[in-house]
Structure 1
């Protein structure tokens, strides 16, 4: 069974690295001796993080990219190849959400969720995994969510993309296991991040919100050990178990009552 010490000296690519869980994962990887390639939309934040890590002795590169652009994954890959770097740890963390009545929400944001949460994950993974298979070693973490275990009205597109992420990770894990490549779907619940504000879903903030640092630590520990799915908090594990036995319609109706936004 592996441990996070296996990450020492390896290059890790972290998407969505400028905030929330992405920053926490980058810091956790650095604490375990990994070298970092950080990518996100905000250049100023990337440079600030790079300075922080460099001051601590971590080797780091930054690549500014917007994963809503279909060309971004190839651009990231090409930049890394041009730099002669070898990515052995791929962290598909970048993600978008949007709460609201679907027939009223911003269409561009709905489509961007599919592009970032699904298309970019598949594209980046397809670019980097072949080399991992050749080397017979590698790690891929895919950020799913506890929203992937049942429909979530008023976050309908987001939840559907996270089902995709979870199933994609689980299927790929089985495919590449014979080659020594580990794939994990990390399924956090409410976590300290900017997600709620960006997605206009602040009503989901509660007293039991989990720290991004704890999610990162548990997620990377699961990845190192080769666990294929990790729900990093107790209530989420209970809920994910119970929904297997309850009628989907009943669960969806219950979630809708909790998630329904106030109409103007």
Structure 2
């Protein structure tokens, strides 16, 4: 894989920490960074998978890579991750907050503990990790922070209500921080993908919606990283998503949310 030239110019030789790096968009982001010359700290729950990926990235791209297996739904995990990088003397200049999952189905039929865990991982862990690593970037007057949100963050989404709400949180957090820390030389961006080839649908239990084409995780990652280093506070990596978001600004909210509910209503 060839890394993006514009990304390479910004990340080569720097250390990047990628959460949820074992599959899907997280894996694609990690590989794009490795191909662009960044060193990696890979984190997710599956240590064996991370070790295999780290070995491959080292062999193919000549970078350095470390693995720290944690479950970021555990409130203690962000501090463990931060302490591990600090104890190793690693300067994390790029933080990719990607770890997360979704739930598809009627809210009243969803498991309460599972949805609470989704909020903990998609929101609380993102805040905690960002609060640990971002001040160091501000002090150094350099750094990049990506928070992976979703186009689901642009409208109320029936049958994925909690997931969409967590992604609103993520997007708003990223966009607000982008304005706070730009003066310190730190760039923050919300990556807002739509349907993507990944494990997300399988984990969330989401069926394939007719007429919705999936984008490759590799393309999402490439466009997201290019937008991050170019200083874009948000990136929607596909044309249909950009059109959808623009059109929603012109339509009544009730019409938008109603159309989304019809699209996502479970079959049968």
TM-score (normalizing by structure 1): 0.97
Q: For residue 118 of structure 2, what is the aligned residue in structure 1?
A: 113
Matching of residues 156-167 of structure 1 within 5 Å? 156-167=161-172
- Does residue 67 in structure 1 map to residue 65 in structure 2? no
Q: Over aligned residue pairs, what C-alpha RMSD do you find?
A: 1.2
Q: Which residue of 2 aligns with 1:153?
A: 158
Q: Residue 98 of structure 1 aligns with which residue?
A: 103
> How big is the shift at 1:261?
1.2
Classify 1:231/1:170 alpha carbon distance in 2 versus 1 (closer, same or farther; 3 Å): same
Q: 5 Å matches for 1:1-264? A: 3-4=6-7, 5-56=9-60, 57-204=62-209, 208-262=213-267
For structure 1, the 5+ residue unaligned runs are none
CA displacement 1:59-108 (0-9 Å, x = unmatched): 00000000110111001001111111010000000111000100001111
SS of 1:118's equivalent in the other structure is: helix
- Distance in 2 of aligned mates of 1:219 and 1:102: 31
Q: Displacement, 1:262?
A: 3.1
- Whole-angstrom CA distance in 1 between matches of 2:53 and 2:87: 22
Distance in 2 between residues matched to 1:185 and 1:205, nearest whole Å: 27
Is the Cα contact below 8 Å between 2:195 and 2:212 reproduced in 1?
Answer: no
Q: Secondary structure at the match of 1:203?
A: coil
Q: Deviations over 1:11-35 (max 9, x none)?
A: 0000000000001001100111000
Q: Tell me the TM-score normalized by structure 2.
A: 0.95
For 1:117 and 1:61, how far apart are their aligned partners in 2?
23
Structure 2 stretches lacking a partner, 5+ long = none
